Amino acid sequence: MLRKYAYLVALAREKHFGRAAAACHVSQPTLSNAMRQLEAALGVPIVERGPAFRGFTPDGETVLTHARRMLAEQEALTQTLRDRSGGLSGTARLGVIPTALPAVPDVLAPFAARHPAVRFVVHSMSSREIERGLNTYDLDAGLTYLDNEPLPDVRRATLYVETPLFLCRRDTAVLPDGPGRITWADAAAHPLCLLTPDMQNRRITEAAFRTAGVTVAPAVETNSLINLYALVRHGPWASIAPSRLPEAMRDDPALLAVPLVEPDVRHAVGLVYADRDPPASLVQALAATVSSVVGPAGARGLSRA
């Protein structure tokens, strides 16, 4: 039965019978037949009928929720038993907001040193996508903001405190507030490249500009930190960058990054994982690793939300 549930979860993820079958390493007729057998065993229709995948019935959505939970519990049990017998192994799926991607090595490097048999898959995602991934068991954990638009029903481990910086080319820098700082109001006078509105960092940025009494209309929007860096580096634009980006690009002498003031903005970033008992051994080990890492602002600690 668990194998059929795995096929069902794959179908929900791929939304296509052929791709779901390929992901499960079976033929499409095998997967389709397994869906019919599951429907017969449970006595309810699960998949909306049609020449192509059209979604799930209301009963099918209920079955899918239970299937995800049972598969996650089976994986958690397997991890616990492996940990007792010979150390952690398996695959950890981590969703990371783009602004926290430069901090991923801070966690994965010490974790890999302690648990070399664990494999990681890291996805760049918005905070809302991370929330959905945790709810649907598609992610084991995420790195996201902890105190701005906080996710519900999660446990948290703080990694660092993010402070936004004004990023510009050194040869075009105009800093009316002094060489070591700039106000949000003065930053708004520059042509800006910002992250897209679906990113929480953008919403934080816009809230800071509103607090400063100004609004901005960026000349360029992007959902990529690398693209944001390249646009500032080679174009006429400045940007509001997360504190870890200039740190990652610190060897570039052409760029200048200075603190933004009035208002002062700080937000905790860290690990989140679903508040379920018992938590899987793998995510417990991840949380322990994060709690042992001192971030740029010395932030650390583990709490339950």
pLDDT value at 15 more than 60: yes
- Work out the pLDDT band at 298, boundaries 50, 70, 90: very low
What is the structure's pLDDT at 241?
92
What is the structure's pLDDT at 281?
84
* Assigned domain for 75 exists: no
Provide the β-strand partners of residue 143: 96, 271
- C-alpha 258: how far from chain center: 26
What is the structure's pLDDT at 84?
65
Whether residues 98 and 242 fall in one domain: no
What is the structure's pLDDT at 295?
47
What is the structure's pLDDT at 301?
36
Instruction: Read off the CATH number of the domain in which 213 is found.
Output: 3.40.190.290
Which helix (H) or strand (E) segment is 247 a member of? helix 244-248
Only one residue has tokens 């996508």, namely 129
Whether residues 246 and 107 fall in one domain: no
Whether residues 255 and 182 fall in one domain: yes
What is the structure's pLDDT at 300?
40
Whether residues 238 and 91 fall in one domain: no
pLDDT value at 251 more than 70: no
Average pLDDT over residues 4-18: 87
> Can you spell out the DSSP letters for 181-196?
-EEHHHHTTS-EEEE-
85-134 pLDDT tens trace: 667 888 899 999 999 999 999 999 999 999 998 999 999 999 999 999 99
pLDDT value at 146 more than 90: yes
What is the structure's pLDDT at 83?
63
- Work out the pLDDT band at 51, boundaries 50, 70, 90: confident
Whether residues 207 and 145 fall in one domain: no
Average pLDDT over residues 254-280: 90
Whether residues 35 and 173 fall in one domain: no
Work out the burial of residue 69: count CB atoms within 10 Å of its CB; fewer than 13 is exposed, 13-18 middle, 19 or more buried.
Answer: middle
Whether residues 151 and 283 fall in one domain: yes
Whether residues 248 and 219 fall in one domain: yes
- Domain end point (choices 69, 95, 127): 69
SS3 (DSSP) at 97: coil
The number of folded domains in the chain is 3
Domain boundaries, position 276: 87-160+268-304
CA distance 248 to 40: 55
Whether residues 245 and 279 fall in one domain: no
CA distance 84 to 35: 35
Whether residues 132 and 149 fall in one domain: yes
Average pLDDT over residues 230-240: 94
State the chain's mean pLDDT as an integer.
Answer: 87
Interstrand relation of 267-274 and 154-162 (parallel, antiparallel or unpaired): antiparallel
- Domain end point (choices 69, 95, 126): 69
Whether residues 276 and 195 fall in one domain: no
What is the structure's pLDDT at 279?
77
